[in-house]
Chains A and B, each alone.
Chain A
Amino acid sequence: MTRRANLNVVVAATVLFAMACSEDFEAFTDVTKLRVLAIQSEPAELMPGEIGQLSALVAADDNASVTYQWSWCPVATSAIMGHECPVTEEMLLAAIAQNGGGAFEIPEGVSLFDLGTSQTAVFPFIIGADVLQIACTQLVAQAGDQLPFLPDCEGSLDTTVKLVVNDGVDEVVVVKQLNLLLSESLIANRNPALGTLTASDSEGVSITLEEAPGTLVSQHGYELAVSLSPQVSESFETTDVETGAIVIDRESLFMTWFISGGETEYGRTSYIPGETEFDKLRLNTWWPPRVAESDGTATLYLVLQDERGGTSWLTRTVQLQER
């Protein structure tokens, strides 16, 4: 080879990325301004004809007036293009029409890409799988050079849901991949289920954190534990990238421990089958903030995600008291 590979830079970048930054900045998990912490589609993946309920976990000032703008793109978008949708509604409709999908008609009042401005949105998978397959193929053939990723037109079609949230001060743009299953033989992913959250102090006193605020002592270390079944990590069929064979794999899970104040031992925890213990995922330690540094309350936002887009969350607010 006449050129030297510097691919180890990629590994170094991956490894060092988190090490190198964030020390001087507010932590990713510190929620101090308008944030969209998660988007959930229920169900997590849509079979033809299903309707997806889209909701967002938004952390905003209680007094803020937050606006929502939901939209959808029939292909995966990319950061390099600013997550702008490279396909217009006209392109999609033309692709459908050119391939005998002329029978498809947009129901009245339904916009293909605009999903509304409510806190939640509905995504109707109303285009038939066969029509969508053909349209997808046509789109790739006609505009493949404009697509950041070439879609899988026969199995799981990666589409994008975009949410723009604005509180008058900040605007947050969030994207989520929404998989439309084009084959009836595929098994849809399910959102993982979160159980109860308990906080135990060093003396072994354990409190279950309910929706009604409990009370915790500021700057006191609490071991947090979420009740989770290992079955949350589903088995699924996937293509082994090395062999090309269909294999059964188990989902990796990761939990993000967003907090409105204080500190946690870990910002994120994960369960990687075969690599880490399941308990690593569900355990953390929290030192709630001082009362003076908050309004007397603190909020925990737990977001559990699997590697296939399944998401669920749990929010708990606690009252704070000084020791």
Chain B
Amino acid sequence: MKQWMYMIAIVLVGLYAFTVRAQDVDNENDTDVQQPVIPPVLKAEVPAEYPPRALEDRVESEVILEIDIDETGMVEGVQVVTPAEPEGYGFDDAAVNAANLFEFEPATQGGMPIPVRITYRTVFALADEPLIADTDTAENDIPAAEEPNDGSAIPAKRVLNFNGTLKERGTRFPLAGVTVTIFRGEGNVAVGYEAVTDADGAFGFYNLAPGKWMLLAEPEGYFPLRTSDEVVKNERTEASYYVERSDYNPYDVVVEGERIRKEVSRTTLQIEEVERIPGTFGDVLTVVKNLPGVARTGAAAGNIVVRGSSPEDTQVFVDGVEVPIIYHFGGLRSVIPLGMLDRLDFYPGNFTAEFGRATGGVVDVRLKRLKPEKFGGYVDVNLADSGIYLETPLGEKSAVAAAFRRSYIDGIINAVVPDSASVNLITAPRYYDYQLLGTFRPNDNHELSAFFFGSDDELKLLFENPADFSPDLTATSGSTSTSFYRTVLEHRYMPSRHFENVFKTSAGRNKVYVGLGDQIFLDLNTYVAQIYDKFTVSLSDNVKIAGGIDYLYSTADARIKFPEVAKEGEPGGRPDLSTIQYTESTDQVSNSLGTFLQLESKLFDRWTVIPGVRYDYFSRVDTSSLAPRFNTRFALAEKWTVKGGVGVYHQEPSFDETDEVFGNPDLGLEKAMHYSVGFEYSPLDYLTLDVTGFYKDMSDLVSRTDATVNVNGELQRLNYVNGGQGRVYGLEVMLKHNFANNFNGWISYTLSKALRKDVGDTEWRRFDFDQTHILTLLGSYSLPKNWTLGFRWRVVTGSPDTPREGAVYSVDKGYYEPVYGRPNSDRLPTFHQADVRLDKRWVFDAWMLTAYLDVQNIYNSPNVTGYQYNYDSTERRARQGLPILPVIGVKGEF
């Protein structure tokens, strides 16, 4: 007779408590955010042998164990936490012996298996009749409550007649490890059972008597679930329960794991914390402008001006891949939606050797490492555009996400602009972007991902009477279109925690057209390819070597017929169409090869030293560069860190500056030396103060010249030489309050001076965006009932301005040409503006709806963005920025 004919109600009561046994997450890995731990699942349960003497004496008991489970799901050790009573029957040994033979699906964190310790209860209960095993194998994995043991006989057959799932309301995320209690009756007749939800949020109860049962679940951080359900005889009750989180502020689901800081200056923004910053419309790249070291630019200007460097001196990467544009129409919206992003790293200077081809800063937008637990996404609708984002798992090893966004500003403008207007918008500003991201993790050592993304902007105009715009305008139409696409393939190889290699290759096309009929145009069609590989070898816990290559190839067809374009330090205004020149090229190949090597070592457990070197070759100027860089950090005390860095940085002139017609093909690289020193202080877990002083010395800057050169006996303009100089110094302060006490925000302050000296000049002048003081206060407060209130207040020294000292009427051109004073010798008034944002989230069972009101410039500050002059520059009036501007939007997530 089989032994279990006598008994055995050994029931897995639960993985009701588990801990991450060895917090072995590599903080230096890119998996910097500690994800929630998914508990292990028992896949091979071995019944404990009922001790014979206990069986004979008909004694029942239970034993509570702690089981250590390794990364493979195997049991590493079992300890008795609460021994059986009465003692001496051998219950403890029986429970331990059985548990040692269990097999689990390992616990995971961020998709990676991890070792955990669980608490496990083994119940020894007697049955009067032998049990017949549940034949419904599909339910065998469901942890079920102990069977009725209220003195009645154990039924002959275990019948799962109550089957439920517990999910988070709104997101439908399964809630694992939650104790669910089902009960009925009161006092002496009360009866109740418990079950613990598994990784899918599933739970079950066996052999519940028919009738009404009360159900209770109280997961931490959620409103309690109290409900009732009916059990009908010979039927299985199936139900889904949605539990509402006490607060849907996104921050409370993000556990921020601080990566080892290698740079002197790096700010990481998690996507969740930027979504509700007022005035940014959740656009992560716009949020960068609120960080220390970043100058204020126009409301819709896409320029990122970092530490007194020109916008083109700062590189923006999407997951390490260079993209031609980051904003639609130069600043309206960024081309990658939030749903695709994980975080943004911003380096205002002294970035490590991994990054190159920039003398200013680096913005590195990191894509989400896709691992959705369910099909989900969002639909975002606002006044400018609408977008949709969808993601879904494809089995256990793969996942895919897709997004699309399109503007409808064209529809609005066309509806507003009267038919009698002198400009007809054939295609008003229209943009769309699209993304497709897929990941595949065949095993723990390999991760493959593919990302296809692109963007398309277009604007077409018809002029009813071109002369009304400008007498020298002979075109009756104008248009701009910018489109690009990229395919990025990535392979991440992690054979052990001591080695990691990331290989990426990308290919795509950039297409830019800007033109006014045949009068002026720029038509660029470029195919680009990039190969990137980075390896990291951990020689020990404190020493790491990282290196890699970064190769960029492009072949371009170009037709350019354009006038002279104003450069930094030169007054803008009306382009002089009499300076139009033309150039044409096909299959113009350009290569850029970068390699880097750096050592990351930690000495005496508190001193981090990062020496590195980068070598670059630029075929367009046929020049190579060697750039040594050094960063260091020293932990003075638990809460204090001092830091410093010095490095050399190079970049190519822009393509027009090296063009034979428009520029000077003999130009060389621009160079910058970065120096910075500072400290960090963390008085509280959620509060950090970062103070950094910096100095940047720029040389060989491309500067316009009237100098001539004899080419084959013909005198030609050099146009540009590497004769400019730059000097920037200042102090950056960042006081950041991470999400705690329902609040998140920061105070950022920059004190700086940015100067330039153009070729031939003897005096320094102000840089275009030299802003002495830049103060930003912003925050977001979570209110009850899923309301969130955000604010932002900025005070910034006015940007430099070049005054007009008069005007000369050019009768041939038909307009007055301004006569300018010394470049940037004047300043605009101080800028100050407050923005607020109110969000309300409604949570439904399977989806959530968020509506927001974002009010920019709430006290209608009359900020001056520049001056506009009358026709002969004898009068000027301030051109004001945005007035008070309320914007509403809704976002549905599921």
Chain A residues close to B by CB (< 8 Å)? 1-15, 17-22, 24-28, 36, 38-39, 79-80, 82-83, 140-141, 144-148, 150, 172-177, 241-242, 252, 254-256, 266-270, 272, 275-276, 280, 305, 307, 309, 311
Contacts and interface: CB of A to CB of B under 8 A. Distances in A.
Contacts of A147: 706
Nearest to A276: B476
A77 B707 CA distance: 16
B795 interface: no
A25 B871 contact: yes
Given A3-B654, A36-B811, A252-B474, A145 B707 contact: yes
Contacts of B482: 8
Contact of A242 (B465, B582, B809): B582
Interface stretch (B370-378, B436-444, B499-507, B573-581): B573-581
Contacts of B812: 176-177, 305, 309
Contact of B562 (A10, A19, A150, A309): A10
B537 interface: no
Contact of B808 (A6, A11, A174): A174
B707 A150 contact: no
B253 interface: no
A269 B469 CA distance: 10
Contacts of B716: 150
A249 to B, nearest CB: 11
A270 B471 contact: yes
Contact of B708 (A3, A14, A17, A145): A145
Contacts of B808: 79, 82-83, 173-175
B312 A3 contact: yes
A146 B717 CA distance: 11
A10 B461 contact: no
Interface in B704-726: 705-708, 715-717
Nearest to A17: B574
Contacts, number: 210
A5 B654 contact: yes
B809 A18 contact: no
Nearest to A146: B706
8 contacts: A5-B656, A25-B875, A172-B809, A174-B809, A176-B810, A268-B814, A270-B466, A311-B811
Interface stretch (B14-22, B322-330, B392-400, B596-604): B322-330
A79 B818 contact: yes
Interface stretch (B64-72, B515-523, B607-615, B761-769): B515-523
A144 B584 contact: no
Given A25-B875, A241-B561, A18 B818 contact: no
Nearest to A82: B819
Contact of A268 (B467, B562, B574, B706): B467
Contacts of B475: 272, 275
B2 interface: no
A17 B470 contact: yes
Given A8-B514, A176-B811, A242-B582, A3 B467 contact: no
Report the 9 A-B pairs with minimum CB-CB distance, sorted nearest first: A79-B817, A270-B467, A268-B467, A3-B654, A25-B870, A3-B312, A28-B871, A144-B708, A8-B514
Contacts of B559: 242
Given A2-B592, A15-B423, 9 more contacts: A4-B325, A8-B522, A27-B871, A145-B706, A173-B806, A242-B561, A242-B584, A268-B465, A270-B474
A275 B476 contact: yes
A24 to B, nearest CB: 6
Contact of B811 (A25, A27, A39, A255): A39
Given A5-B655, A145-B708, A269-B465, A15 B478 contact: yes
B34 interface: no
A270 B473 CA distance: 9
A10 B246 CA distance: 53
A175 B816 CA distance: 10
A266 B871 contact: no
Nearest to B563: A10
A111 to B, nearest CB: 21
A295 to B, nearest CB: 24
Nearest to B522: A7
B655 A1 contact: yes
Nearest to A253: B467
Contacts of A174: 808-811
A38 B811 contact: yes
A80 B805 CA distance: 11
B676 interface: no
B590 interface: yes
B435 interface: no
B468 interface: yes
Contacts of B562: 7, 10
A140 B717 CA distance: 11
Nearest to B576: A79
B31 to A, nearest CB: 30
A272 B475 CA distance: 8
B526 interface: yes
Contacts of B580: 241
B524 interface: yes
B651 interface: yes
B686 interface: no
B819 A6 contact: no
Contacts of B810: 79, 174-176
B818 A256 contact: no
B706 A14 contact: no
A2 B522 contact: no
A288 B480 CA distance: 40
B171 interface: no
Nearest to B760: A145
Given A7-B656, A20-B868, A254-B814, A280 B877 contact: no
Contacts of A270: 465-467, 471, 474
A242 B467 CA distance: 24
B479 to A, nearest CB: 8
Contacts of B633: none
B820 interface: yes
Contacts of B514: 7-8, 10-11
A268 B809 contact: no
B652 A13 contact: no
B492 to A, nearest CB: 26
Contacts of B655: 1, 3, 5
Contacts of B512: 5, 8
A249 B822 CA distance: 41
B788 interface: no
Nearest to B482: A8
Contact of A14 (B324, B473, B715): B473
Given A150-B715, A311-B811, A15 B516 contact: yes
Contacts of B871: 22, 25-28
A241 B582 contact: yes
B165 interface: no
A289 B209 CA distance: 97
Interface string B555-567: 0100101110100
Interface string B513-550: 01111001010101000000000000000000000000
Nearest to A311: B811
A276 B478 CA distance: 15
A19 B470 CA distance: 10
A275 B517 contact: yes
A13 B582 contact: no
B688 interface: no
Q: Which of B577, B582, B809 gathers most chain A CB within 10 Å?
A: B809
Given A174-B809, A272-B474, A2 B469 contact: no
Contacts of A26: 870-871
Contacts of A13: 572-575
Contacts of A311: 811
Contacts of B868: 20-21, 24
B412 to A, nearest CB: 18
A20 B870 CA distance: 11
B715 A140 contact: yes
A11 B480 contact: yes
